[in-house]
Chains A and B, each alone.
Chain A
């Protein structure tokens, strides 16, 4: 019996030995390997993103990160209830230090399977310094809790270019499979570019973490470093973007959208009377500014926008995200590159080119290159036609009379271009594809692979005569992004050179600034563009922004009083958008004849392109023409400026009060000297040409204006007052220009509300008369 028992004992030991060493050998060997060596990844700083001028758009910022050493914690608090208690206590301390965190968040992090037994689990980033001092004093109470330095992405200009720059976020488990072969050694706890430049230049921006292979003992203590490689910082990306132009574009676009919302939709009733309908909704829009040389993106604005920094907040919740995502104005959509719009009349230039290139306008076509056609204001596609576009009407059914291609562009004749489109479809020897091919030649239907999030749009071949006529005026199923529209106008500015839009100028070594990759413009193709084609098109485009005795271009009003040394070739678009209100578009380039800028503004549901979109381009171009582009302060600088401004304003207010007291005193004594001095001078300027300035009138820095008025007024009363004199000296020239502006209708001070700091009640009445 004892013998049987002994046999049983040996049998079980032997079987178990076999199982462990032969059956599950590999599994154990893997685990043993993992036990012996621990790989520690030393994170490498991510590269920065710079604009073309070297301004830093995305940087790294050192922050305090609270981490919990799992091993130490579980040694101290092995049970879940103890850990829960610990979490509650820790959450309270962190929250008291000024960083709100829930105990539940800590518990979730502590039990996250992503982290190993010996890992340090991050709990909260960007915790106030106060907390690290506190933890240093109370180590015993919070075993395993440490505060370490870590970096987070920092946007010096805040939300400026936010859509374009994008953001980083944690690597998802699903991504890791694809990243396993990456030499950049992605770890589950790493961050990766999730959107915008951060995502599309991930390969350049991401550094390679240093790897330390460490031999450890049972307690996880380091024995020695077996292998070590230093972290290699990521490289910088220099964009073609100009942060100052970007900020300008964003500001002007927002202003344009707001202005559009103040206007009302107009319609012409059957008896020819203009009636006003509801206000324009203008939910959003986009602006693209390109350097035609290589189609470098200088600015790309979208409206509305959001704060891309929310994604790096630890406590950013799904609910908050849902709110943004379900916002009907779609702030998450980068309309500049991903807005899908019909190009409207801006497309007519492509129709024009197709007509020239195919010979439809020319030797073998339906009309001579410089021939005229009678525009009665509307035109019906002959024969049986029931599709949309069978009746082509000019805006407001306005008859334009005898027009050639130049006038047809300048005055945006739908009748002229509709007929061209129709001819493509029906004329012997011509095909609809000639029109769509031209569109493709200009880059429609083609993605901009260098620009994150850009769509390629769609260029379907119209099925019948009516829809071809419709396409010829930019209506119908052809879909494009504002970037594509801008690029097609850059092509016109380039006289047929089609570039793929570029966003990155270079990849730079983060340490010494050496150019690692110099991105070259990518010329896709060069279109055949002889003078016979080009001259009429340019002439028509220039006509859009100008007016003659005979007729005025569709955007002439917006470009009234525009600097004459900066000729703008442009094209308005008013895009039917049934059942919603019309979209407004304007595409342009300048200064002719050496275009350095191509721009598109597209505003949804904002009415006529000439009314809503052209003024935005005009306003941006004017600032460029005058060299009056404000240098955008970074947020930190702005904060400083605001506090300085406040100090100045307070000082000013104090001086003004003293001044007022003196004036009051003087008024009592010297009555005959100064009647009505205060408001009259600036007040007399504005009513003079207030209407002319309208939307477009733009000018010098706005805050100078109001703050200077009182000293100016005081000046006329008491030129010897030292305080007033000093003040004017600081502020320089604006003072003399104010009275000078009274006579000629030159640009009028126009005050942007958000920049506007009211130092004094005296300026309020002035502002009221200044407004549109």
Chain B
């Protein structure tokens, strides 16, 4: 649905009203993914006791999805351009949360990444991704035209490196990688100079090399990386092999809901979170996997389009960041289960069990939709120019 067709359908409408330009389909795709995710979570967590299936996880995740949709709805009422003004407090809040979690957070699986509130846990790194997106978008949108000067690039990198460093220290390398991908994509769209980027990539490679050889990475993380590079008889490669067997076991149409033997035996670790795609792959087969990929493709295509059609560069950067976040997480999470990416703890957006992740993902979609529906709206402080890329 384009702006022109919207007008032609309803010529009496006010073209300035955002509600005439809303595209809710990305959110629908997200809800679809969330529902498929619920099925997967149920299969992965219901347990073996036929008379007493565990529904705790699926109920919680259902709640998270509802909260996520509400957050989405709330966010689209909110004009994204306010965010440019609020960028500093938002960014500061994310950093503070990241610092706080290092002090009062709880440790799970060797990483101190969570706040604990009763039975709920919150993962500030998830929200920090959005904080980073907003901060970077705000920083880069001050420039109206031309390529990115070096000063701006350095600023952007400093903005990115602060949360990335804290996240790595938790350690949560997965989220750090997502933040890295977000930054890279936004710099690219923000027209950073090619030679600067090449220099940056070289620098990053050096940093990763140093990181691997430093004591900053936990042993299990090095193990996983080695397992990916050298799939010999380590536990991590065993996990990855079992994940692939699970997906392969599904075949064309899958074993049927609740019938996946790999899933039932618990042979794949973290199956309701990072490895959620293996449940879908096993129980719904190639057909189910394709549906998931198509929903993601649709979502990302809409986001891509939204980024291009955004009313200002700030909005365009915001959507780009969200797009990069989803794209990288999806590729990493699904690719890992199929053995084309190393095993890293990254949730699959909308599908993996986890409140912080669900909320962040829906907020991300909300941001994008909010940007998109206001592409023709008059600005809160300035007139709208021509919609630019």
Contacts and interface: CB of A to CB of B under 8 A. Distances in A.
A36 B248 contact: no
Interface in A1-34: 1-3, 5-6, 9-10, 12-14, 16-18, 20-22, 24-25, 27-29, 31-33
Contacts of A1: 188
Given A21-B281, A217-B266, A28 B293 contact: no
A427 B309 CA distance: 121
B304 A2 contact: yes
Contact of A20 (B248, B304, B327): B248
A28 B245 contact: yes
Contacts of A21: 247-248, 250-252, 281, 285-286, 289
Contacts of B300: 6
Contacts of B267: 35, 217-218
Nearest to B264: A36
A274 B298 CA distance: 115
A14 B48 CA distance: 32
Interface in A21-60: 21-22, 24-25, 27-29, 31-33, 35-36
Nearest to B286: A21
A13 B337 CA distance: 10
Interface in B257-275: 261-262, 264-269
B331 interface: yes
B320 interface: yes
B261 A36 contact: yes
Contacts of B247: 17, 20-21, 28
B185 interface: yes
Contact of A17 (B185, B269, B289): B289
B242 interface: yes
Nearest to A12: B340
Given A2-B189, A27-B248, A32 B261 contact: yes
A6 B326 CA distance: 11
Given A12-B340, A22-B286, A215 B265 contact: yes
Nearest to A75: B235
A665 interface: no
B155 to A, nearest CB: 22
A319 B332 CA distance: 57
B286 A16 contact: no
B335 A16 contact: yes
Interface in B206-249: 233-235, 242, 244-249
Nearest to B281: A21
Nearest to B324: A2
B323 interface: yes
A35 B286 contact: no
A13 B327 contact: no
Nearest to A21: B286
Contacts of B75: none
Contact of A218 (B242, B250, B296, B331): B242
Interface residues of B, number: 46
Interface string A70-87: 000010001000000000
B265 A35 contact: yes
A333 interface: no
Interface string A190-218: 00000000000000000000000001111
Contacts of A24: 248
B158 interface: no
Contacts of A216: 265
Interface string B293-333: 10011001100100000000000000010010001001100
Contacts of B286: 17-18, 21-22
B290 interface: yes
A113 B150 CA distance: 60
Given A21-B252, A32-B246, A9 B261 contact: no
B188 A22 contact: no
Contact of A13 (B185, B266, B335): B335
B245 A31 contact: yes
A78 B323 CA distance: 41
Contact of B304 (A6, A18, A25, A215): A6
A223 interface: yes
Interface residues of A, number: 33
A215 B301 CA distance: 44
Nearest to B323: A2
The interface residues of chain A, by DSSP majority, are classed as helix
B265 A36 contact: yes
Given A27-B248, A218-B265, A223-B48, A20 B338 contact: yes
B43 to A, nearest CB: 15
A18 B281 CA distance: 11
Contact of A2 (B245, B297, B320, B334): B320
B327 A6 contact: yes
A12 B262 contact: no
Contacts of A10: 293, 296-297
Nearest to A9: B331
Given A6-B304, A9-B327, A13-B331, A22 B261 contact: no
Given A2-B185, A3-B304, A10-B293, A22 B340 contact: no
B222 to A, nearest CB: 14
Interface in B174-214: 185, 188-189
| Most A CB within 10 A of own CB, among B251, B296, B323, B339 | B251
A3 B303 CA distance: 11
A218 B301 CA distance: 38
A18 to B, nearest CB: 7
Contacts of A2: 185, 188-189, 304, 320, 323
A506 to B, nearest CB: 48
A27 B251 CA distance: 10
Interface in A387-418: none
| Most A CB within 10 A of own CB, among B247, B248, B290, B296 | B248
Interface in A201-252: 215-218, 223
Nearest to A37: B261
Contacts of B252: 21-22, 25
B320 A22 contact: no
Contacts of A5: 327
A74 B242 CA distance: 18
Contacts of A18: 286
Contact of B245 (A3, A13, A32, A215): A32
Contact of B262 (A27, A35, A78, A223): A35
A17 B292 CA distance: 11
A28 B245 CA distance: 5
Nearest to B332: A9
A28 B249 contact: yes
B248 A17 contact: no
Contact of B293 (A17, A20, A31, A33): A17
Contacts of B48: 223
A614 B269 CA distance: 80
Contacts of B304: 2-3, 6
Contact of B265 (A14, A22, A78, A217): A217
Given A32-B261, A35-B262, A12 B335 contact: yes
A29 B249 contact: yes
A17 B338 contact: yes
Interface of A: 1-3, 5-6, 9-10, 12-14, 16-18, 20-22, 24-25, 27-29, 31-33, 35-36, 74, 78, 215-218, 223
Q: Nearest 6 A-B pairs (CB), nearest first? A: A28-B248, A32-B249, A21-B286, A36-B261, A25-B251, A218-B267
27 contacts: A6-B300, A6-B304, A6-B327, A9-B327, A10-B297, A12-B335, A13-B331, A13-B335, A14-B290, A17-B247, A17-B289, A21-B247, A22-B252, A25-B251, A28-B248, A28-B249, A29-B249, A31-B248, A31-B249, A32-B249, A35-B267, A36-B261, A36-B262, A74-B233, A217-B266, A218-B269, A223-B265
Given A20-B281, A218-B242, 16 more contacts: A2-B304, A2-B323, A5-B327, A17-B281, A17-B289, A20-B338, A21-B247, A25-B249, A25-B252, A27-B248, A29-B248, A29-B249, A29-B251, A35-B262, A35-B265, A218-B268
